[in-house]
Structure 1
Amino acid sequence: MSAQAPVEPSAQSATRPAWTPIRRLMVNGAIFIMLMAMLILVSIQTRIPWNYEPAGQTLDTLTPNTAVTFDNTTGKTLPQRNTYKVASHYETIEAKQPSTGEVQMIKVLIRAPKDAGKNLPGVVFMHGAGYGTCDNSYGDIATALSSAGFVTAVIDKPVWSTNDITRDYPGSAAAYDQTINLLRNRPDVNEHNVGIYASSESTWISSYLLQQDHNIAFQVLLSPMVFAPRQAIAFLAAQDFAIVGANDGYQSIVRRVFSFDLGMYGVHNMDINPMDPQAYSIPTLVAYGSKDVMTAQVQGVKEIWANAHRAHNWNVTVRSYPVANHVLRLGDESMPNTPFADDYVNDVIDWAVGTSRGLKQTSEPIAGSPLYQSIAVPLDLHARRGMTIYATFVFGLMFIMLLAAIVCWIMALVKWIIKLTKPKDKRRPVLGLCNGFGRTLLWVTVGTMATLILFFAGFGEVVWGVVKLAWGDAPQEDPGMMFWSWPFIQVVCVIAVWIWSRVFMRMIEAADTRGYLRVRSIRCGKQSKIVPDQNLVAQAQSNHVIASRKFGKVLFWITVIAMLSIMQFFAFWGLFLF
């Protein structure tokens, strides 16, 4: 018996009726909920817990008088500032980076007291962050020490081919040790009496230096960072973001940034261990400014004491100066001729003179203004490799898709300009976007990109506020955009997600009304099959869902993916936590 022929349906219209408003709302709402749930989940999964307690730590000093005095049993008058005139000259050393063999020719500015005799103490100055040279760094303090009988050396900062992120701290320590040996070999210097003066970032280098060279006589540590870079810089950023008035959302970025595993990309400085007892095994002067917003002073001093005592060293002097900033200056560090705190230079000279001569200190070991620390150092902060991989994917996807979208829109603009120059092509569409997708895509893209620009502008204002704060500037009373931009971006993100869910709803509706989502059952013998309604599909070929031209479809989907990748970018930074 022959098979029954398929039963054909009766003629039907090419399209189904448009959806009702209720159906549109239901589908729109379902898509919105799914998109929001996905983005909120990303924000939750990338959230880093951080305990700021104990907050408001203080450490009292024994006296407000910062003067450093010694029991001078020698009967000789100790040199002071301006006791000697100072002569200076340049030398050059060939500093080889141990890890790579790269050579940097480093200029050394040596200052020496005139007619001070022989067997003099020496001091080598170590640079903080940046790219300081021997000519633009430590000129005033080095000259002051030399006028009190010290031979001082300031060098061009050893950087080789590194940058601020990839600094070679062990290699830098070797270069500074080479400078120390340069002083030791001078006929007017006591080779056993050469110390160091380290500031800020270089206190990480000094830790390596003292582990390499056990013959360094003494050290002055100006605003020491003490803790590993991951914890120390995270503390700095979190504290300063709060001081300048940044929204809590921007402060949460700090936690994510300093949880990146940069070791995946060859950057291993974040987790060095500078807290070695050997680093504090010699006579040490620690100096802080009360307006220093970059160092954890209370925990830092306690950690220095603990490590010094482990190394059986009880000769640690701490001084804290009111009004002074991170580099012990009074005012904006970016301005020329900004002076040191009133007594700082004289105190350093007095301490260095007495210590280099082996005298017994009679002044209090901790003096000046009380030390204060707003939040705790995040000692439990660590690298999270999984989050780093995901961040790399999100950032990479956003960059690639934005670049592709920009190229497509430029091509569309060129095609539109060419079309205007050819009258016969004026009716031919460039993109052929239909069902209102062209106008919607344009506005939602402009809105999303404007939100991205606002995000970077708000974050940039926070960073600039922190930089000015580090230079000694006071925070603004009204934080402005760095506060209100975060909740504003959150609101705009929710609106953008709603609009994108509406775009997807319109796509589904257009596909359904044109028969692309309709199916029918046909009988073939005793069996039935569910197949697309080919009649509707065939009749709807001229009624496209997204665009009538392939280039328009490509541009549409590339733009959609680029804009959704921006939403993922926002979600990673926690903008979908409310």
Structure 2
Amino acid sequence: MRYRIALSSALVVLLLGLVGSVSGPGWDPTPMTRTIEVETSDTAVGPPSAAADADAVGTYEVVESVVTVPLAGAEVEARIMEPLDAPGERPGVVFVHGAGTGRYDRAFVAQAEALASAGVVTMVPNKRLDTYSTRDRSYVTMANDYLRSVELLRDLPGVDPARVGVYGESEGAWVVPVMAADNDAVAFVVLVAAPVVPPRQQAAFAVDSYLRATGVPEDLLRAIPRMVGMDFPGGGFAYAEFDVQPFQQRMRQPVLLVYGTGDAAMPTVQGALQVIDDLQVARNDDWTVRYYAGADHGIKVDRRLVPAFARDLATWIQGLPATAGAAPRIAGDEPYQRYVAEPVDRPRWYAEGDLLVAGVVGALLAVVLGPVLWAVRRLRGTRERMLADGVRAPLVMVSAGAVTTLVALAAYLLVVANMAQNYRTNAWVVQGGWLGVRMAGVATVVAGVVLVFRVLDGRRRGAVPAARTAAGEWALAGAVGGSTMLLLLGAYFGVFPTLG
């Protein structure tokens, strides 16, 4: 009997692994083969005279003020930082936020203050949130809103309207090219941690990089396109397909492109190459690329803005147009990108968002049907058992095991995601946790096999039926059907091992 259970359980586990493997899509990212040639490790912009002619960071005392920016149907506040007693009309920069709420008192504080102390007037508006949500946002609409800030800054006394540019970081680097395309009002562009590819591709690339850095098992990586590539439950997320390239190909302003080599979320090599290629379409040769060693998404190390970045940014802005294409064009730390950020395969129809959620909810409702029927019968005073003695225990185990496997999988993914985003590794958590999830899945399969054999053996012996009542039949069918669905879901996300 034990041999039969062990062999059957092994076969079912392998079958589930096979089902998960072939249910698609797979994940096999293309290795990054193009390279970018860094000319020097010194990030200083242009010849030594460029830095000598520019006001250094810390030259001026900074004064702050808050203004109101009128938008279409709304208004936002913005903080202006100005260099006190700086002579003549000064260049200006409008900062465009990355993902999130984007308040001026929290975002770009160090960058804006450093530039202002070097003689550049900076403006950080609050992000407009009534048209921005996790499910819905428009980068074109956001660009039009931020252009209102550009207009206001250009009209500010002491600002040279012909020298006002925009600075976009992360998600903001999808917005800034829309602002700059065919727009002479934008004098220059600074792109920091630019994703370059559409958001869905960027998300898959970032998740892959984070998970690999954390050391997750290879089988778990196939979940990336199955989660990132699907239509999300409830619709929305149309912006996930936004393509910034047509706008980059219409930028004719000088462009400074900046990455930190400690930023695993961005395609640091591919991004620079793509922007350079796109600017060539616009016949724009005014570009500069800088890589800062160990810097993160915001060009910070240990949460502090890299001093060389603040220096180089100020020098580049104040030195325009001379610094627009000055050597060295590409400088700093040597970047490394393992895989290409590329289009993500879509799941098949049965694994799209709404159906996936409906399947999980339906499976959970089916599993809890038995306990609900038992509770109702007890409240009515019915003491008759719904199930045969030999069936009840494995049925409870398979139901509880299936739910436990699903919960453990979700918890494991959340913990690993948190570790990955914070660049932390822990083999006990990553490998041990995954082993625990798989053991829960295998134990559930064993309980299911025991249940099936007991039902079949009972029928062969003509013993008491597995379900003694109609309620028992519903409970048995619900538990078996719901648990099977949950196990298939676990298989889809790699819980069960494959032979390959």
TM-score (norm 2): 0.89
Partners in 1 of 2:333 and 2:388 — Cα distance?
Answer: 71
Aligned equivalents of 2:176, 2:350: Cα separation in 1: 33
- Is 1:343 the equivalent of 2:305? no
Name 2:293's counterpart in structure 1: 322
Contact map agreement 1:445 1:563 (CA 8 A) in 2: yes
Aligned to 1:171, the other structure's residue is in SS state helix
1:386 aligns with 2:349: yes
Contact 1:247 1:484 in 2 (8 A): no
> Of 306, 312, 336, which aligns to 2:283?
312
For residues 499-532 of structure 1, the C-alpha deviation after alignment (integer angstroms, 9 at most, x for no partner) is: 3233234334434544xxxxxxxxxxxxxxxxxx
Q: Does 1:396 align with 2:361?
A: no
Residue 65 (structure 1) shift: 0.9
2:404 aligns with one of 440, 444, 450 = 450
Distance 1:279 1:114 in 2: 36
Amino acid at match of 1:466: A
Cα-to-partner distance string for 1:188-207 (whole Å, 9 max, x where unaligned)? 32222210111111111112
The Cα of 1:145 is off from its aligned counterpart by: 1.3
The answer as to 2:429 corresponding to 1:481 is yes
Q: Deviations over 1:341-379 (max 9, x none)?
A: 231111111111101x555764411111111112222x2
Pick one of 110, 128, 139 that aligns with 2:80: 110
Whether the aligned pair in 2 keeps the contact of 1:259 and 1:383 (CA below 8 Å) is: yes
Query: Per-residue displacement from partner, 1:116-137 (whole Å, max 9, x unpaired)?
Result: 3553221100111221201111
Gapped runs of 5+ residues in structure 1? 1-20, 97-102, 332-337, 420-424, 470-474, 515-542
1:303–1:259 Cα change, 3 Å: same
Give 1:80 shift.
2.5
8 Å CA contact 1:289–1:322 kept in 2: the answer is yes
Structure 1 residues 300 and 492, CA gap change in structure 2 (3 angstroms): same
Q: Which residue identity does 1:309 align to in structure 2? A: Q
Q: Please name the residue that 2:413 is paired with.
A: 459
Distance (Å, rounded) in 1 between the aligned partners of 2:250 and 2:164: 15
Matched, 1:66 2:29: no
CA contact (8 A) 2:198 2:241 kept: yes
**Inter-partner Cα distance in structure 2 for 1:168 and 1:153:** 22
Partner residue of 1:370?
A: 334
Q: Cα deviation per residue 1:282-333 (whole Å; 9 max; x = unaligned)? A: 11111111211111111111111111111111111111111211211112xx
Separation of aligned partners in 1, 2:293 and 2:12: 55
One-letter amino acid of the structure 2 residue matched with residue 441 of structure 1: L
On the 8 A contact 2:406/2:486 being kept in 1, the answer is: yes
Q: Distance in 2 between matches of 1:279 and 1:327?
A: 26
Distance 1:254 1:298 in 2: 22
Residues 47-86 of structure 1 aligned to structure 2 (within 5 Å) = 47-54=25-32, 59-69=36-46, 77-86=53-62
Given the alignment of the two structures, is residue 566 of structure 1 paired with residue 486 of structure 2, yes or no?
Answer: yes
CA distance in 2, matches of 1:463, 1:271: 23
In the TM superposition, what is the alpha-carbon distance from 1:35 to its structure 2 partner? Answer: 8.6
Partner of 2:24: 46
Q: Is the 8 A contact 2:187 2:253 kept in 1?
A: yes
Counterpart residue identity of residue 168, structure 2: A
CA displacement, residues 445-493 of structure 1 (integer Å, 9 cap, x when unaligned): 2222222222122212210111212xxxxx33x4223223334534543
Q: CA RMSD in A?
A: 3.1
Contact 2:13 2:497 in 1 (8 A): no
Match of 1:139 in 2: 109
Which letter maps to 2:441? Answer: C
Quick one: distance in 2 between partners of 1:192 and 1:47?
Answer: 50
Partners of 2:228 and 2:97 lie apart in 1 by 24
Counterpart residue number, 2:387:
433
| Equivalent of 2:123 in 131, 153, 157 | 153
How far apart, in 1, do the equivalents of 2:236 and 2:134 lie? 14
1:285 aligns with 2:256: yes
Instruction: Tell me, yes or no, if the aligned pair for 2:261 and 2:268 is still in contact at 8 Å.
Output: no
Distance 1:385 1:115, change over 3 A: farther
Alpha-carbon distance change, 430 to 68 in structure 1, aligned in 2, over 3 angstroms: farther
Structure 2 SS opposite 1:343 = helix
d(CA) in 2 for partners of 1:51, 1:116: 51
One-letter amino acid of the structure 2 residue matched with residue 82 of structure 1 = G
Which of 148, 172, 178 lines up with 1:178 in the alignment? 148
Structure 1 315/361 Cα, relative in aligned 2: closer, same or farther at 3 Å?
closer
Matched, 1:89 2:65: yes
CA distance in 1, matches of 2:351, 2:110: 44
Which amino acid in the other structure matches residue 265 of structure 1?
Answer: G
Show the counterpart of 1:225. Answer: 195
Q: Give the drift of 1:577.
A: 4.6
Change (3 A) 1:372 1:58: farther
What is the distance in 2 between the residues matched to 1:187 and 1:329? Answer: 32
For 2:396 and 2:77, the matched residues in 1 are separated by: 57
Asked whether the equivalents of residues 287 and 325 of structure 2 are also in contact (C-alpha less than 8 Å), the reply is no
- 1:38 and 1:319, CA in 2 relative to 1: closer, same or farther beyond 3 A? closer
Greater gyration radius: 1
Rounded Cα–Cα distance in structure 1 between residues aligned with 2:346 and 2:233:
9
Query: What SS does the aligned partner of 1:153 have?
Result: strand
Secondary structure, counterpart of 1:371 in structure 2: coil
Q: Distance in 2 between matches of 1:120 and 1:145?
A: 11
2:219 maps to 1:299: no
Equivalent pairs, count? 497
Is the CA contact 1:129–1:164 (under 8 Å) kept in the aligned structure 2? no
CA spacing shift, 1:361–1:227, aligned 2, 3 Å: closer
The 3 A distance-change label for structure 1 pair 567 and 384 is: closer
Q: Secondary structure at the match of 1:273?
A: coil
- Partner deviation per Cα, 1:31-72 (whole Å, 9 max, x = no partner): 9857964763353122424233247x6534111111113586
- Preserved contact between residue 71 and residue 362 of structure 1 (Cα < 8 Å): no
1:46 and 1:573 in contact (8 A); partners too: no
Q: Report the alpha carbon displacement of residue 159 of structure 1 after superposing the two structures with TM.
A: 2.7
In structure 1, the partner of 2:137 is: 167
- The alpha-carbon distance between structure 1 residues 111 and 34, as it changes in their structure 2 partners (threshold 3 A), is closer
- In 1, are the aligned partners of 2:209 and 2:264 still within 8 Å (CA)? yes
